[in-house]
Structures are given as C-alpha cells and as structure tokens.
Amino acid sequence: MALIKTVRGFTPQIGNDCYLAENATIIGDTIMGDQCSVWFQAVIRGDVNSIRIGNRVNIQDGAIIHGTYERASTTIGNNVSIGHRAMVHGCTLHDNVLVGMGAIIMDNAVVQENVLIAAGAVVLENSVLESGHIYAGVPAKKVKAMSKEQFKDTIERISNAYVMYSGWFKE
C-alpha cells in the first residue's frame, strides 16, 4: 500500500478509481481527482504548499511533485502525463499536457493546455508555455506547433494508456 501521510493537519484526498503503487508517497495538502495513477517511487509532497491534481493524471515512476513554502503551490489539470523522473515544482499545468521523462518545471511557470514538454527539458521560473506547441531544451524553448496527429499520438494516447495500465494493477 502507498505511503499516505498527514502533515500539518492535512491528509491527502484521493479520487475514485485511482491506482497508487505500493511505494508511491502522497503527503499533506494533496487533492487528487478520479482515474489517476501514481507509479513506483513517485512522490507527491504537499507538505509546504497545496497540490491539486485533476482527473486522469498519471505520475510515472520516480516523478516528484512539490511546491515552495508560502510562495508556489502546484496545480495539475486533467489528462496530464508526468513522465518518469520528471519534477513538477510550484507551477500550473493546464489540461492535456505531457511532461517528458526527466523534465523539470520550476516555480510559477504556467503551461497552457495541449502542450508537450520534451524529455530533459527545463522550464524556467515564471515561464509561460503557449497552448498547442512542443517545447524542448535547456532552457525550454518553443520548437514547433503540434499537429492534431501528434496530439492524438502522444498526449491523448499516453493519457488513455495509463488509465488502461493502472487497471492491470487493480485486478
């Protein structure tokens, strides 16, 4: 069973039909929607600020979700995929975002809907990533507009796949 820990009087709230890996950690002021999955060694640490997670969000192996004390909470929309070992810190991710493996998104960044952040990218503090684009690099820069085909083959496909994968572990 995942480690779910009350901190500073806040107990995580987990939505319906979620999968939490046995060694996932969910702490404090965290509210998670329905059909989410938190995979092996992922940490959602709502100890210093709030974390709000929408529906159908997958937080893959080794990812870290955190914020900054009294400065930056974290908000994640619906149908968001957080790749393996990614770090999402004190920022806002709108709906239909894919955060690639090992990417870092820093405080007060805003990622608009329908955005793909490439593996290893670093989104600097206070950045605004525009809807419908792919971002890559260190620091992350707009690479190109995302086609409908790319959207369906990446963001939509991965979000749907993780709902399916989590079903295998709930049996």
- pLDDT, tens only, 83-126: 999 999 999 999 999 999 999 999 999 999 999 999 999 999 99
Q: What is the pLDDT of residue 21?
A: 98
Q: What are the residue boundaries of the structural domains of the chain, listed by start?
A: 3-170
Inform me whether the pLDDT recorded for 33 exceeds 80. Answer: yes
3-170: CATH, from 3.20.20.70, 3.10.20.30, 2.160.10.10, 3.90.1150.10: 2.160.10.10
Q: Predicted confidence band at 171 (pLDDT cuts at 50, 70, 90)?
A: confident
User: What does the H/E/C string look like for the chain?
Assistant: CCEEECECCECCECCCCCEECCCCEEEEEEEECCCCEECCCCEEEEEEEEEEECCCCEECCCCEEECECCCECEEECCCCEECCCCEEECCEECCCEEECCCCEECCCCEECCCEEECCCCEECCCCEECCCEEEECCCCEEEEECCHHHHHHHHHHHHHHHHHHHHHHHC
Quote the pTM value. 0.97
Nearest alpha-carbon partner for 76 in 65, 62, 63: 65
- pLDDT, tens only, 129-142: 999 999 999 999 99
Pairing of strands 43-53, 25-32: parallel
